[in-house]
Amino acid sequence: MALSDCRIVGFPKIEDPRGNLTFIEGGNHLDYDIKRVYYIYDVPGGAARGGHAHRETQELLVAMSGSFDVVLFDGNVEQKFHLNRSHYGLYVPAMTWRHLENFSSGSVCMVLASLPYDEADYYRELDEFLVAAKAPAASQSVANRLAA
Ligand code: TYD
């Protein structure tokens, strides 16, 4: 999948003096039905997550609290996104390598996934992903940077 298919998506924000409200409807605000929700939290300072790609699963990443960076890599092009608002999400199509880093203290990353968890859906080795993506082999420095 080309990196150009990755994008920041905005969601409705109902502003209210009692506090704001945002909602996300699968099949409406997202092109897919949401089959799984998971979240990453209590991330120690300096830790990284991700370091893999999915064969089929599409995901939307939302910074529910705090902030973090998401580095996406389609095998050719790499782009870093900074997430820090809970009414925006980053859409990550299948066949996109992701690396999450620079988590602020207390940050929470919520992920809305198009499929249930299946370890067979993962590429956990960058070399294997690059072959499947018909991309050139990565240098050791790129591989080190994109590992979790
Ligand atoms: P992983 O997807 O590698 O984490 P990251 O968010 O850093 O990409 O998952 C870490 C572990 O959690 C791994 O052993 C698989 C397990 N896991 C589940 O059991 N269900 C899930 O929905 C997810 C996302 C992970």
Which tens digit of pLDDT belongs to each residue from 39-53? Answer: 999 999 999 999 999
Contact between 99 and 79 (Cβ < 8 Å): no
Residue type at 122? Y
CB-CB neighbours of 38 under 10 Å? 11
Which tens digit of pLDDT belongs to each residue from 29-79? Answer: 999 999 999 999 999 999 999 999 999 999 999 999 999 999 999 999 999
Atom of ligand 1 nearest to the CA of 52: 8
Nearest C-alpha neighbor of 99 from the set 138, 57, 48, 141? 48
Distance 40 CA to ligand 1 centre (A): 9
39 ligand 1 Cβ < 6 A: no
* Partners of 40 in beta bridges: 109
Which tens digit of pLDDT belongs to each residue from 87-97? Answer: 999 999 999 99
Distance 141 CA to ligand 1 centre (A): 25
| 3-class secondary-structure state, position 129 | helix
40 ligand 1 Cβ < 6 A: yes
What is the residue with the minimal CA distance to atom 2 of ligand 1?
Answer: 50
Atom of ligand 1 nearest to the CA of 98: 8
Structure tokens at 47: 């830790």
